[in-house]
Chain A
Amino acid sequence: MNTPAELRYAASHEWARQDQDGTVTVGITDFAQDQLGDVVFVELPPVGRSVNAGDQVAVVESVKTASDIYAPVSGVIAAVNQALEGRPEAINTSPYDEGWLFRLTPTDGGEIEGLLDAAGYAASTEE
């Protein structure tokens, strides 16, 4: 399973990356996309929506099941990955890059530090 060292993770299988401009980009991990199988639909939140860490903000649906996606940090949705509408399978083939789900402007720039690091997340998936 691919778990990039430079990212942060939530136990609920979201990854978070803080970019230069301070925004936080969020997607689901390689482990999560593998568990789900072929993704067919994605429901993304509206831009401008205010979310708290732990809120359910998106749904990723595969042939097998639908999975709720939670905001790893609090903030305001700044952008969503429109390309997933026509190519939901990007989440399977490129979960950390083309398969990003949404980007938010965090309320507290330091909150991301409270998430799991790569080693912590990898350990959590070993059960």
Chain B
Amino acid sequence: MKRTPLYQKHVELGARMVDFAGYEMPLHYQDGINHEHLTVRAGAGLFDVSHMAEIRVIGPAATAFLSYATLNEPGRLKVGRGHYNMLPNETGGLIDDLYVYREGEHDYLVVANAGNREAVFDHLKALAADYDCHVVDESDNFALIALQGPSSPLLLGRLLPEDVTELRRNGTMTAELTGVPVTVSRTGYTGEDGFELFCRPTDAEAVWNLLMGAGAVPCGLGARDTLRLEAGFPLYGHELTQTSNPLCTPFAWVVKDKPFHGRERLWGASCGRRLVGLRMTERGIPRQGYKVTDQAGEPVGEITSGTLSPLTRDCIAFAWVDPELSEEGSGLAVEVRGRPIAAVVVKPPFYQA
């Protein structure tokens, strides 16, 4: 298994380590997932996301290329801003979901999921053959640490001479954290205010220690998952896959009406099923792969992600369901260990800061 520059730190902190996308990552630290989830919602949590991939797209045609290769419109980004985006394949589905940052007029940093690093890089490189730009895998040049929660601006503000509170959501800036060069973006995947700090791998421990010293609480992948699900965000491999059409999900807003790779298969396709949010109305935890049935017990769908929210104590999920039952308020059931447990369709997010 691969390790991030912060592996030793996680072990020292007593983290339970697990294999995630081929990386040995902390699932949670000693106080557990629930504690970490609640800390992010009320204070500030610290996540090692250095396993993610960073791919640079640079050159005179970088904007035109990324506009064609992705579903959102990078040309609309001002320099120093980023956005959530998706990478379509040619069969009406997705290769990955991404964050794209415009670092210069013709210079973009694409951040992809760790498990899709090779697939994303190979695809972009092949597609860019017809464009005057370069695609470079810079993942090994970066460590990435996320600071998330309502106390984040105050906490980070104390460590930086620059004024982070002025940084708008999705904005980026370069800064020095007691002499350590970092790029700070006001982004995150938890549904809270927060920042993501890009730094050199050799500086990762110093940055982590500074943020922990300032009061940020280490949080692992377990809380990362409960937080993003509660906030209504998709996770590739669950809600988004090689065969899922984003136009049939609550994330259709990402898709812009413009030419893009695979548009013919994606744009006009009818939705065999729609992705919806579910809230259990009887006791039971929905999990990926569980069958969704109508009230007569007929199979009408499948859970893509599910959990018990540490904050609201609701059991929540995303699921693909037959279109006729995808209206808010529709009554359904989830098969949990052979028994139907009642659920209702709700519009995500399940929580808002």
Residues of A within 8 A of B (CB): 37-38, 40-41, 59, 61, 63-64, 66
Q: In whole Å, how far is A112's beta carbon from the nearest beta carbon of chain B?
A: 29
Q: Is the CB of A38 within 8 A of B33?
A: yes
Tell yes or no: B332 within 8 A of A by CB. Answer: no
Q: Is the CB of B337 within 8 A of A37?
A: no
Q: Is the CB of B285 within 8 A of A40?
A: yes
Residues of A within 8 A of B33 (CB): 37-38, 63-64
Q: Is the CB of A63 within 8 A of B307?
A: yes
Q: Number of residues in B with C-beta < 8 Å to the partner?
A: 13
Q: In whole Å, how far is A63's beta carbon from the nearest beta carbon of chain B?
A: 6
Q: Is the CB of B283 within 8 A of A63?
A: no
Residues of A within 8 A of B310 (CB): 38, 63
Q: In whole Å, how far is A125's beta carbon from the nearest beta carbon of chain B?
A: 15
6 A-B residue pairs with Cβ-Cβ distance under 8 Å, sorted by A, are: A40-B285, A63-B33, A63-B226, A63-B285, A63-B308, A64-B222
Query: Given the complex of chains A and B, what is the CA–CA distance between A63 and B32 in angstroms?
Result: 10
Q: Is the CB of A40 within 8 A of B308?
A: yes
- Per DSSP, chain A at the interface is strand
Q: Is the CB of B337 within 8 A of A59?
A: yes
Q: In whole Å, how far is B164's beta carbon from the nearest beta carbon of chain A?
A: 32
Residues of B within 8 A of A40 (CB): 285, 308
Residues of B within 8 A of A41 (CB): 283-285
* Known interface pairs A37-B222, A40-B308, A66-B337; A61-B32 also in contact (CB < 8 Å): no
Q: Is the CB of B34 within 8 A of A38?
A: yes
Q: Give the contacting residue for A38; candidates B32, B283, B284, B337; CB below 8 A.
A: B32
Residues of B within 8 A of A38 (CB): 32-34, 310
Q: In whole Å, how far is B286's beta carbon from the nearest beta carbon of chain A?
A: 12
Query: Given the complex of chains A and B, what is the CA–CA distance between A59 and B226 in angstroms?
Result: 22
Q: Is the CB of A61 within 8 A of B285?
A: yes
Query: Given the complex of chains A and B, what is the CA–CA distance between A45 and B308 in angstroms?
Result: 23
Query: Given the complex of chains A and B, what is the CA–CA distance between A124 and B34 in angstroms?
Result: 29
Chain B 305-319 interface mask (CB, 8 Å, partner A; 1/0): 001101000000000
Most-contacted residue by chain B among A41, A59, A64, A66 (CB, 10 A) = A64
Residues of A within 8 A of B283 (CB): 41
Residues of B within 8 A of A63 (CB): 33-34, 222, 226, 285, 307-308, 310
